[in-house]
Structure 1
Amino acid sequence: MTRPPRVVVLAGGVGGSKFVLGVRGALRARGDDDTASALTVVVNTGDDLWLSGVRLQPDVDSVTYALAGVNDSERGWGRRGDSERVNHELQQWGAGWPWFTLGDLDLGTHLARTGWLREGLTPTAVLERMSHRWDLGARLLPMTDAEVDTIVELEDGARLHFQEWWTRHRATLPPAGFHNPGIDRAAPAPGVLEAIAAADVVLLAPSNPVVSIGPILAVPGIRDALTRTPARVVGVSPIIGGKVVRGMADVCLTAIGVETSAAAVAAHYGARGAGGLLDVWLIAEEDEAAAGDVAGLGIRPLVTPLWMTDAARSAALAETALGAADV
């Protein structure tokens, strides 16, 4: 292949942000300086919400800030070195959620986004405008322009916005299911289906399979596009040594009847040869014993280090994923 490979990544959350950074790093290590024309990231927007009159897009911002190099890598969200004066003032007024911190710089992003939305721009157009501020080295697309916020249905029948369940209650309230009202009527954001169809490889980041990758796949047309693309679809397991790396994906998996294991998540996505999504599934060295089970699903297992503890390791993982697709 004489041109750089066209890479599409489906991502959300901190794991997705780290992986996208790794993919960009791997492409640049190959000598591709114009990664923006080669790398498209389809970002989960199921985490989005309205709060204090502004529109928040947590996963979109996490990926944007990470690629811009301004993210707070210690907390895993928000801007590095941010202050919280406005957030404190909002709490004094009894506005917003006292357990959901909005940094001042972060609020600047939300205010800009909200203003553009109220002027009539779509979320896709807003994200394109936001991308001009920094040299991100990637094209970012929301999964849809529709508002399809994730609602958690608890076992007692109560319903909470995902952010309240996740951030306030730390996923301790037993969930019975996760819903994105209106998603069956949503459409993929402009450019998403075209990017998947033209890709040389599609990568599923090691994001939460239920609430990060799940909503992307639930947008009508996206799953079908993945099954039809001539590109290989390579997924990276979010499970290492039988445990989730970060967050509470194990609670989400349990709620939908999926075991917290590399093989079980592979089965959840399924093999393309059997109507699923995956051609190749990267699993951690700690889970090497699961390789046979993955192969039995009709998915090629590839055992490799999955810990993304620094930029070099993230890029090495991404290069392994690209190599698995022969690009």
Structure 2
Amino acid sequence: MIVALSGGIGGAKLALGLAQLLPPEELLVVANTGDDFEHLGLAISPDIDTLTYTLAGLDNPELGWGRRDESWACMETLAALGGPDWFRLGDRDLALHLLRTARLRAGETLSAVTDDIRRRLGIGARILPMSDDPVRTRIGTDTGWLDFQDWFVGRRAGPAVRAIDFAGAGKARPLPAVLAALAARPRAVVICPSNPFISIEPILALPGMREAIQASGAPVIAVSPIIAGQAVKGPTAKIFAELGTPPTAAAVAARYGGLLHGFVMEEGDEAAGIAPRVFRAATLMRSLEDKVSLARAVLAAAEALR
């Protein structure tokens, strides 16, 4: 079993690469839910959905989020009626949100709904939320605290980041199925190339999660989302800089402290100051072949550490 911790786009790309190499029963992807929020009365889980669409072959390669072959009639009509269209939901995408919301209100758990949807879309690997309890990422700025989606989408990640908080994390329980997978001595725990601040650290903030990873006895390997001081996608480099740290691969490794045994980073980047064992690979994933190649490098690193 490989247990992979993931956010959205970058994590989903590596998860797809791993899914090409592993039997379905040997891959569990744990999704960040700190980005989740309610919009237009609907329960939205962006990272879960990105993983689901990517592993089902339904992702939108042009936008990097949402479904392919999408239409936007609902959003266009909503805008014409004066409604909030700052968070765009495609017509096909809306079906998933409507179903999830109805089932959650009927008393089902987020994990049960997520697992059923991935089965119906033909995904073999398991995708599970980090918790069935709500955790909400909030961004501290010079003008006050903002809910994550307000900051990231509504304000296009413009306001400078001064602090990050995971509301509810202290009381949230890691998903029992995730803890069980860690207790079963997995082959490796992989931290995908997702934003460490807003995609991975909400997962690690859950009480007992770090301890469960350390007690698993598995090699813990992170893949850097930083290449030559820049993030491939999203605000990772911006957050590092605004919190006073140069955006480097070494800074990513340092965010995880002593949790790591291995660190996969771009072939030409500086490795000085990185404590865990460094493995070199091409980490930019444009094609399916790139994703599979990086996944193969991660699995090789796991074997070397074992």
The residue number in structure 1 matching 2:259 is 277
Q: Which runs of 4+ in 1 moved over 4 A?
A: none
User: For the Cα contact (< 8 Å) 1:193–1:221, is it kept in 2?
Assistant: no
Secondary structure of the 2:273 match is helix
* Superposition map of 1:190-229 within 5 A: 190-198=176-184, 199-229=186-216
The residue number in structure 1 matching 2:157 is 171
User: For the Cα contact (< 8 Å) 2:250–2:273, is it kept in 1?
Assistant: yes
The residue number in structure 2 matching 1:137 is 124
Secondary structure of the 1:80 match is coil
The residue number in structure 1 matching 2:54 is 66
User: For the Cα contact (< 8 Å) 1:124–1:190, is it kept in 2?
Assistant: no
| Separation of aligned partners in 2, 1:124 and 1:260 | 34
User: For the Cα contact (< 8 Å) 1:291–1:303, is it kept in 2?
Assistant: no
Determine if the alignment matches structure 1 residue 323 to structure 2 residue 300: yes
The residue number in structure 1 matching 2:100 is 113
User: For the Cα contact (< 8 Å) 2:161–2:243, is it kept in 1?
Assistant: no
The residue number in structure 2 matching 1:286 is 268
CA displacement at 1:99 relative to structure 2: 1.8
The residue number in structure 2 matching 1:20 is 15
User: For the Cα contact (< 8 Å) 2:142–2:160, is it kept in 1?
Assistant: yes
User: For the Cα contact (< 8 Å) 1:21–1:314, is it kept in 2?
Assistant: yes
CA displacement at 1:214 relative to structure 2: 1.0
Gapped runs of 5+ residues in structure 1? Answer: 1-5, 28-34, 271-275
User: For the Cα contact (< 8 Å) 1:243–1:250, is it kept in 2?
Assistant: yes
Secondary structure of the 1:21 match is helix
Count of aligned pairs between the two proteins = 303
- Aligned CA RMSD, in angstroms, stands at 1.3
| Separation of aligned partners in 2, 1:160 and 1:179 | 10
CA displacement at 1:137 relative to structure 2: 2.2
* Superposition map of 1:241-260 within 5 A: 241-260=228-247
CA displacement at 1:267 relative to structure 2: 1.3
* Superposition map of 1:35-74 within 5 A: 35-74=23-62
User: For the Cα contact (< 8 Å) 1:258–1:268, is it kept in 2?
Assistant: no
| Separation of aligned partners in 2, 1:68 and 1:235 | 24
CA displacement at 1:251 relative to structure 2: 2.1
CA displacement at 1:78 relative to structure 2: 0.5
Secondary structure of the 2:136 match is coil
| Separation of aligned partners in 1, 2:16 and 2:166 | 28
Secondary structure of the 2:285 match is coil
- Encode CA deviations 1:241-276: one digit per residue, 9 max, x unaligned: 121111111122234443310011111112xxxxx2
- Encode CA deviations 1:301-323: one digit per residue, 9 max, x unaligned: 11111111111111111111111
- Encode CA deviations 1:118-155: one digit per residue, 9 max, x unaligned: 11001011111111212212101100111112111212
The residue number in structure 2 matching 1:273 is none
Identity %: 41
Determine if the alignment matches structure 1 residue 181 to structure 2 residue 161: no
The residue number in structure 1 matching 2:284 is 307
The normalised TM-score by structure 1 is 0.89
Gapped runs of 5+ residues in structure 2? Answer: none
| Separation of aligned partners in 2, 1:234 and 1:127 | 26
| Separation of aligned partners in 2, 1:253 and 1:65 | 29
Secondary structure of the 1:210 match is helix
Secondary structure of the 2:180 match is helix
